[in-house]
Amino acid sequence: MPTTHKTRMLIVGSGPAGLTAAIYGARAGMEPIVVQGLQPGGQLTITTDVENYPGFRDVIQGPWLMQEMQAQAEHVGTRMLWDTITAIEMDGSPFRAIGDSGDIYEGDCLVIATGAQARWLGVPGEAELGGKGVSACATCDGFFYRGKKVVVIGGGNTAVEEALYVTNHASEVVLIHRRDSLRAERILQDRLFAHPKVSILWNKAVDQFVGGDKGLTGVALRDTVTGEISEVPTDGAFVAIGHAPATELFKGKLDLDEAGYIIVEPGTPKTQIAGVFACGDVMDHTYRQAVTAAGTGCMAALDAERFLATRDFAATRETVAG
């Protein structure tokens, strides 16, 4: 029998944005519910070292940070629920979300913190060899390539971190990038260039993942400048070309930009619907950091509190007047 869960503040997503909104919302007495989704704790649960989240002199681990954030949210009164939202009604408050479990979640206000998901290349062999040599998470699967050769595709922070991480396991790591310069932070680039196990193939696009029943054997490449075709033998390939915002649920209900990110009022987490707020990577294609996600999560909770206070005050005035 489906259950209806009611709350002043419904939060969809349990990454740094959702959990920070929950911490502030709970402390403001909004008794938030967080619907966690398929990745409790969000993207940082698939990484290892985090050295840029303020407050920690020593390197910390992403999964540990997210466990602590969740514990803090629960400690101040957040209810964490294990479900994934599959449909949402946003005509007005209360907002209704339907979970994969069949349960219904009703919130007087709604905070969307659904983050982003790994992007794939969409070339032949990628789906077929997924889990048989092709992966989007080196920190999850790098262990399987002890003493083997792997390639990492991409040129951003994720690709460089993934490449450096797999050097802990693999004997040889080749970074494949479609241009002749990386967009990763300079400090990461310096570490990559200095690593004896790493080499880089510049100006190369992956046309196909090659392999069969036994798994991946190589990647077919095309030179993006000369058009020359080549093939690099490899045991594993990690696709690290960025993430797409998780906004499928909100198409046609909220304004999205051309890349699919939720459009908010500049400088705020307010969407075009009063009482609906968006925070973290789902509305931010520029910064996409744990600390900025947490920051906008805080802003969403503060604005949610103001929204409810204004609405409650207006309702009380009407009751008194009427």
Q: What share of the chain is helix, strand, coil (3-state, %, to 5)?
A: 30, 30, 40
Residue 201 has which token pair? 């193939």
Contacts to ligand NAP from residues 274-293, by CB under 6 A: 288-289
- Measured CA to CA, the distance from residue 222 to residue 206 in angstroms comes to 6
Contacts of 286 (CB under 8 A, 6+ apart): none
Contacts to ligand FAD from residues 9-38, by CB under 6 A: 12-18, 35-38
Cis peptide before 94 (omega within 30 of 0): yes
DSSP structural state of residue 254? B
Minimum distance, C-beta of residue 272 to ligand NAP, in the bound complex (Å): 25
Minimum distance, C-beta of residue 240 to ligand FAD, in the bound complex (Å): 8
Taking a C-beta distance cutoff of 8 angstroms, is the pair 8, 31 a contact? yes
Residues in the chain, total = 322
Residue 106 has which token pair? 């009703």
Q: In 212-289, which ranges are continuous DSSP H helix? A: none
Taking CB under 6 A as the binding criterion, the range among 88-96, 167-175, 178-186, 212-220 that sits at the site for ligand NAP is 178-186
Minimum distance, C-beta of residue 128 to ligand FAD, in the bound complex (Å): 24
Q: In the chain, which ranges are continuous DSSP H helix? A: 16-27, 62-75, 138-141, 157-166, 186-194, 290-321
Q: Which of 69, 80, 121, 293 is close enough to bind ligand FAD by CB under 6 A?
A: 293
Nearest residue to 106 (alpha-carbon basis) of 175, 4, 239: 4
With tokens 């054997």, the residue in question is: 217
Taking a C-beta distance cutoff of 8 angstroms, is the pair 278, 112 a contact? yes
Q: Which of 10, 80, 111, 116 is close enough to bind ligand FAD by CB under 6 A?
A: 116
Q: Which of 178, 191, 197, 311 is close enough to bind ligand NAP by CB under 6 A?
A: 178
Minimum distance, C-beta of residue 216 to ligand FAD, in the bound complex (Å): 21
Nearer to ligand NAP, 35 or 241 (CB): 241
Taking a C-beta distance cutoff of 8 angstroms, is the pair 261, 240 a contact? no
Measure the N-to-C terminal CA separation of the chain; round to a whole number of Å: 39
Site string for ligand FAD, 151-170 (x = CB under 6 A): -------x--x---------
SS3 137: coil
* 141 included as an active-site residue: yes
- Helices 157-166 and 186-194 meet at what angle, rounded to 10? 30
- Catalytic-labelled residue, pool 140, 190, 255, 312: 140
156 makes contact, choosing from ligand FAD, ligand NAP, none, with CB < 5 to 8 Å by partner type, with ligand NAP
* 137 included as an active-site residue: yes
- Catalytic-labelled residue, pool 83, 141, 235, 303: 141
Q: Which of 121, 163, 262, 283 is close enough to bind ligand NAP by CB under 6 A?
A: 121
Taking CB under 6 A as the binding criterion, the range among 47-55, 211-219, 257-265, 306-314 that sits at the site for ligand FAD is 47-55
Site string for ligand FAD, 251-280 (x = CB under 6 A): -----------------------------x
Which amino acid is residue 50, in one-letter code?
V
Q: Which of 13, 41, 133, 154 is close enough to bind ligand NAP by CB under 6 A?
A: 154
Binding residues vs ligand NAP (CB under 6 A): 52, 121, 154-159, 161, 178-179, 183, 205, 241-243, 288-289
Query: What does the binding site for ligand FAD look like in residue numbers (CB under 6 A)?
Result: 12-18, 35-40, 42-44, 46-47, 50, 52-53, 84-85, 113-116, 158, 161, 246, 249, 280-282, 288-291, 293
Catalytic residue ranges? 137, 140-141
